[in-house]
Chains A and B, each alone.
With several copies, the nearest count.
Chain A
Amino acid sequence: MNLSFELYGELIPLAGGERISLVTEMAPATVAEALSVLADQCPALQPRLDQCAAVRDTDILLRSDPLPENGHLVLLPPVAGG
């Protein structure tokens, strides 16, 4: 399955880019499982993922929510506007 992650804030320099695409043999069922795959593939992101919100369009998902069918997640680290 194709997974893609759209990155923001400090995730971008950690990952070296704004987007990460991965291919997995086993399709992750939940957001948590997809993030586990990401943590394995991108160790630099791993320590930050716990504090990130996982988003589909404008909906913040729970870790237990099913992974969106398109395999795409937006990852939002802690926010600091204003």
Chain B
Amino acid sequence: MTDSSNRIHLTEYPIAIDELLALDRYPECGGLALFAGTVRDHHQGLPVESLRYTAYAPLAEKRIAEIEQQARERFGLSYCRVMHRLGALRIGDVAIVCVARAAHRAEAFEACRYLVDEVKHQAPIWKEEFYTDGSSAYVQGCCIRPDSRSGDQHHAHTDSHPDHHRVPHCDGDHS
């Protein structure tokens, strides 16, 4: 496994939301949008008892940093920040926090949505669900192989904001 000293987007400890808001900075901002993904007690009809997140940290850190930078440029943000929890989580625990701050609320909302979507679809992180009957399973995910034979899935999807970002079709994205 990899050294955790330089991890600024991944943590094995509970995420302190307040510290990610940077409210003592960026006086030019009027809008802050935040998304927190919390552990649900059900997934596709199955009762969930707990989760475990794992990551390939070197690439996850790099991809999340790139996604933040893309969001800053695309939406003119003063600040954005993504933090993803790793390890064992219980129901209600915060798994991911995305924060975007901009002069106005429209950009903050759009950027926050972009951050969540991109991190879910691109960062090498895996979710293992443990069910109340004692069984477990990895949640179906999004293929990040660039030359996948079904790689046209990365281009086939069109959403209502085609110029904002493309969201690859992703069987595992039920959240």
Contact = CB atoms under 8 A, between A and B. Distances in A.
A78 interface: yes
B99 interface: no
Main secondary structure of the interface of A (DSSP, over half): loop
Contact of B142 (A10, A50, A78): A78
B145 A52 contact: yes
Interface string B67-80: 00000000000000
B112 interface: no
Interface residues of B, number: 41
Given A8-B126, A9-B126, A63-B147, A79 B54 contact: no
Interface in A19-78: 50-55, 57-58, 60, 62-64, 74, 76-78
B84 A81 contact: yes
B108 to A, nearest CB: 13
Interface string B52-84: 011110111010000000000000000000001
Interface of B: 37, 53-56, 58-60, 62, 84, 95-96, 116, 119-128, 138-150, 170-173, 175
